[in-house]
Amino acid sequence: MAMTADGKISTANGVVSSFGSAYDQHRLLLLRSKADAVMAGARTVEASSITLGPGGLRYRRLRIRQGLKEYNLRIVVSGSGRISRRAEVFRYRHSPVIVLTTRRASRAAVRRLESVADEVKICGERTVDFPRAMRWLRKKWKVKCLLCEGGGELNAALFAAGLVNELNLTICPRVFGGHAAPTIADGVGVRSLVQASQLRLKSMKRVDDELFLVYRVLPRR
């Protein structure tokens, strides 16, 4: 996740969400090159021209050298199933796109998504049951390493489920402000300190005015 110095991942009106440097983009593609699957929430895939693909030949070669498929699997999360079928992620057919949804999605919505995605999986009643979804992804699609690229609502659900091992954070030298601007973890949030995910800083690198932080998420007691 790339965030501003005031902790925002996009402007409040959602217009700006890409503000990291070229080096930040390179690091993102390096992360993708290690992942079996890349996942994002419905608002993220609708808000930008994100395809969740591996990027250029250089990164695809890296994947192959690491024993992975040339193109990563792509996963979109939409509990309502009301994600736009015009999202860029559905336009590129280089690797399967899976939509994780819930029983809230109408039959018509599921049918519409099936026309653009390779599989639509109902996993949960009102919100996606991520532990169950992860087990299914591992069994059916052999996903061992999954990279989640936000947004804040999806990240919060994964933290709440205790499913995040590592957080890669880029702090960019800007301030956006705005109550409504998303942050790296939104949702309802924790109510007490004991519920907070605890992190240990693994590495930190400064390049020009950006900071690249990698945190390990400590297991829950």
Ligand X SMILES: NC(=O)c1ccc[n+]([C@@H]2O[C@H](COP(=O)([O-])OP(=O)(O)OC[C@H]3O[C@@H](n4cnc5c(N)ncnc54)[C@H](OP(=O)(O)O)[C@@H]3O)[C@@H](O)[C@H]2O)c1
Binding site for ligand X (CB under 6 A): 1-2, 9-10, 14, 17, 40-44, 47-48, 77-80, 82-83, 102, 127-128, 149-154, 157, 182, 186
Nearest to 152 by CA among 77, 54, 71: 77
Q: Where are the beta strands (DSSP E) in 165-217?
A: 166-172, 199-207, 210-217
Nearer to ligand X, 68 or 109 (CB): 109
d(CA 132, CA 220): 18
Q: Does residue 99 sit in helix, strand or coil?
A: strand
Both tokens assigned to 202: 């693994």
Nearer to ligand X, 70 or 162 (CB): 162
d(CA 10, CA 178): 10
Nearer to ligand X, 10 or 33 (CB): 10
- Compute the least distance from the CB of residue 207 to ligand X, in Å: 17
Nearer to ligand X, 45 or 68 (CB): 45
| Cβ contact 66:34 at 8 Å | yes
Q: What is the sign, positive or negative, of the torsion defined by CA atoms of 159, 164, 165, 166?
A: negative
- Compute the least distance from the CB of residue 62 to ligand X, in Å: 21
Nearer to ligand X, 142 or 189 (CB): 189
| Cβ contact 17:178 at 8 Å | no
In order of 5, 29, 32, 133, 155, the CA distances from 77 in angstroms are: 28, 21, 18, 11, 11
- Compute the least distance from the CB of residue 109 to ligand X, in Å: 9
With a CB cutoff of 8 Å and minimum separation 6, the contacts of 219 are: 162
- Compute the least distance from the CB of residue 206 to ligand X, in Å: 18
Nearer to ligand X, 69 or 208 (CB): 208
- Compute the least distance from the CB of residue 120 to ligand X, in Å: 12
Query: In the complex, which residue's CB is closest to ligand X?
Result: 151
- Compute the least distance from the CB of residue 67 to ligand X, in Å: 28
